[in-house]
Structure 1
């Protein structure tokens, strides 16, 4: 296992467990619109290493553990870090953009970074087989597009506590950074690059037309 992957998992575990037992630490570093607007932009990074509870942490780290080696095998460590942290920040930025007027909005979790890693992996291998609900095999690109469409639904419905906006922002980050690093994908697999961009275009179309 790549040492960078192990280090990221270890940092997430250490920081999250610190947050579990220290509420002041958790509040100091979580994503909080009011605090970010007051100048604490560091929260847009630190919140990506905090989690609500052990299941939240375990799910994110297990998903990361599964998909991260795909990225590590295609890029060097520096490019891997660009994708991971770029997706994390992209998730936070999109969350801030959509919720900037909700002073008390809070969020934590590595989901944005992990979703960026997943979308990057799907961009590299769109026909990889993934299991929907851990049982139904589907091509990676169908999973990726479907997941982002579901995220749009979640953003619109606002019926749960899932950070759909951060997930979507992370996917955008993973998509764009991967294309910036591996530009030949645009010419070698143009159709798939366009297909994976469709949910992103739909999101901003809906937002522009005040339908979110």
Structure 2
């Protein structure tokens, strides 16, 4: 595994574990609309990606990052990987901030936005070269986004994950991929189109049906 990816995974695991056992730290650094817009605590746009709800949430995000990071680094290099990871993280959280701007109590945590950017970028480059739990990468990505969209549109009281960040993160990963390797992304547009279906449905529910405001 690339040393940069290893550092990100290690930092995320350590910080998440600290959050599991320190509620004050968890509350201080999670994504919260009111804290960001009213108190200008912009650090939460980044720090929230290093916190997770529980071990399963942490494991799933880091496992997804592990499986998809190799393709991204091979096509975009280490700098490109960092641009996608943190760019998707920021855009995903900014999108969440926009969506929930009238809900100052809204909170979320997790690296989902950043990981979504990595997934979309890797699928844009190599949709069939990746296999996750015997599933082709594009199918895993579709299921990943499908679950996120379902949970966002059908919120549970116990759920504190940043599902809205998936859309912004995935968008950043896709746009960056097309900008850097347009032909490669166009060649794999069928797979990207299939994987985009849950996100397009989410966009329809948000902007046309006004399900979330």
CA distance in 2, matches of 1:69, 1:14: 22
Are 2:154 and 1:157 equivalent residues in the alignment?
Answer: yes
Identify the range of structure 1 (138-147 vs 21-30) with the bigger mean alpha-carbon deviation.
138-147
Aligned residues: 208
Q: Secondary structure at the match of 1:127?
A: coil
1:83 and 1:116 in contact (8 A); partners too? yes
Displacement, 1:81?
Answer: 0.2
CA distance in 2, matches of 1:195, 1:55: 26
CA distance in 1, matches of 2:187, 2:67: 26
Displacement, 1:127?
Answer: 2.4
2:149 and 2:199 in contact (8 A); partners too? no
CA distance in 2, matches of 1:99, 1:4: 32
CA distance in 1, matches of 2:58, 2:149: 23
Displacement, 1:86?
Answer: 1.1
Partner of 1:166: 165
CA distance in 1, matches of 2:175, 2:61: 22
TM-score by length of 2: 0.84
Change (3 A) 1:211 1:193: same
1:30 and 1:47 in contact (8 A); partners too? yes
Structure 1 unaligned residues grouped into runs of 5+: none
2:123 and 2:192 in contact (8 A); partners too? no
Partner of 1:144: 141
Change (3 A) 1:58 1:36: same
Partner of 1:66: 67
Structure 2 unaligned residues grouped into runs of 5+: none
